[in-house]
């Protein structure tokens, strides 16, 4: 088993306290947005001797990953585990399917767009389904709401003085209306969006203060407009489900599913990719034509996943093979067996656990993590909270 040293990413929206507290570090003025655990080339975990997890996997792919993982995904760890801590909203975004990522990555390479260029859409050729499990209360925008419900919300805002939305309820409920309205908002000139917000934001403030059925959704509008004046995401957010997760609740985000994390912390797992197509709430590049190819306009209710318990571990069901995530909460120190079932990363987020293999015993305290090679069966015991990340091959 290999203890991991992990990289903190300092994106501007990050909390200055949550990840440092998890790691037992002093807070600074620098945001700590994400902690990356895995073998992604941008910020791979490192071992105690400074070797990257990428290098360690490359030395013995079969031993580290197992034959079935190498056969399915090649000689690279197929998942990336993160701790995400948001003090301010992230951009509204969506992720491509595998086929879209492969085609887009190849096209941009052929076009000579450098990796890391501000107008680049595809950082790699992989899809990026993801799951987030809340560590704290966590608010997110997730998926498009039923168009009739969104039309009712718009009618409420119009009645409160947001006359710039006049006609939008009818447009939404027409055939193909959701795509048409989203496209119009994304392509609207900034000056027109600022004018729309000047009408809609005060109306949303009034709805929020009235403590109506839409108060929570409208309560975010002013905050988003203050942070991103003239941004398409301010109005676009009103078409999305506002989801509030309690600790231990989770969301799965499939390809094309529009989403944004607003505030709070969670453990996030995804296919090992950094492909993000942004829709709004960002000063970064928004490629509207490419985004419209990727967005899934299926409407939904944004309900959290229902976890399935396997003994003492709660597993979050996902329809992909790249990853799985389990949460262990223990108050009595009972032992839990984890068979040799592919590569795993264990992360302790509370308390302390003893991880035992045949001739290797290690202690994981809060904020510590370890990589477990594919052929290593382990026993876990302790008190606190522990996350187990692995692949989802049957």
Catalytic residues: 278
Name the DSSP class of 174: S
**Euclidean distance between CA atoms 130 and 272, whole angstroms:** 10
**Euclidean distance between CA atoms 204 and 214, whole angstroms:** 9
Assigned token pair, 27: 């807070």
User: For residues 2 and 371, is the Cβ–Cβ distance under 8 A?
Assistant: yes
φ and ψ at residue 176, rounded to 5 degrees: 70, 15
Q: Which residue matches tokens 């094309």?
A: 256
Assigned token pair, 230: 């003239």
Contacts of 103 (CB under 8 A, 6+ apart): none
Total H helices, total E strands in the chain: 12, 19
Contacts of 179 (CB under 8 A, 6+ apart): 292, 297
């Amino acid at each position: 088993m290999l203890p991991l040293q992990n990289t903190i990413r300092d994106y501007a929206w990050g909390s200055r306290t949550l990840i440092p507290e998890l790691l037992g570090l002093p807070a600074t003025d620098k945001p700590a947005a994400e902690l990356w655990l895995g073998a992604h080339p941008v910020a791979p975990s490192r071992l105690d001797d400074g070797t990257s997890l990428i290098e360690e996997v490359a030395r013995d792919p079969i031993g580290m990953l197992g034959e079935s993982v190498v056969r399915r995904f090649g000689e690279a760890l197929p998942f990336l585990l993160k701790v995400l801590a948001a003090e301010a909203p992230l951009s509204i975004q969506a992720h491509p399917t595998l086929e879209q990522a492969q085609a887009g990555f190849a096209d941009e390479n052929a076009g000579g767009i450098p990796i890391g260029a501000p107008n680049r859409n595809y950082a790699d050729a992989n899809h990026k389904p993801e799951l987030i499990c809340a560590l704290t209360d966590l608010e997110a925008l997730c998926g498009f709401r039923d168009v009739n419900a969104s039309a009712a919300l718009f009618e409420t805002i119009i009645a409160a003085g947001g006359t710039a939305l006049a006609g939008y309820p009818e447009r939404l409920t027409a055939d193909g209306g959701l795509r048409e309205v989203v496209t119009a908002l994304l392509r609207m000139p900034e000056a027109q969006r600022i004018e729309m917000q000047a009408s809609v934001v005060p109306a949303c403030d009034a709805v929020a203060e009235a403590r109506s059925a839409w108060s929570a959704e409208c309560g975010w509008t002013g905050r988003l407009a203050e942070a991103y004046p003239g941004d398409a995401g301010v109005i676009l957010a009103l078409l999305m489900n506002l989801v509030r997760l309690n600790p231990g609740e989770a969301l799965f985000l499939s390809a094309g599913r529009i989403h944004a994390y607003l505030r709070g912390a969670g453990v996030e797992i995804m296919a090992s990719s950094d492909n993000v197509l942004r829709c709004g709430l960002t000063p970064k590049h928004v490629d509207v034509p490419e985004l419209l190819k990727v967005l899934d306009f299926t409407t939904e209710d944004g309900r959290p996943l229902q976890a399935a318990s396997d003994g003492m571990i709660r597993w979050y069901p996902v329809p992909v093979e790249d990853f799985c995530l389990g949460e262990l909460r223990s108050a009595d120190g009972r032992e839990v067996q984890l068979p040799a079932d592919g590569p795993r990363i264990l992360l302790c987020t509370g308390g302390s656990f003893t991880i035992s293999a045949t001739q290797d015993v290690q202690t994981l305290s809060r904020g510590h993590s370890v990589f477990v090679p594919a052929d290593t069966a382990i026993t876990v015991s302790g008190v606190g909270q522990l996350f187990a990340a692995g692949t989802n091959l049957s």
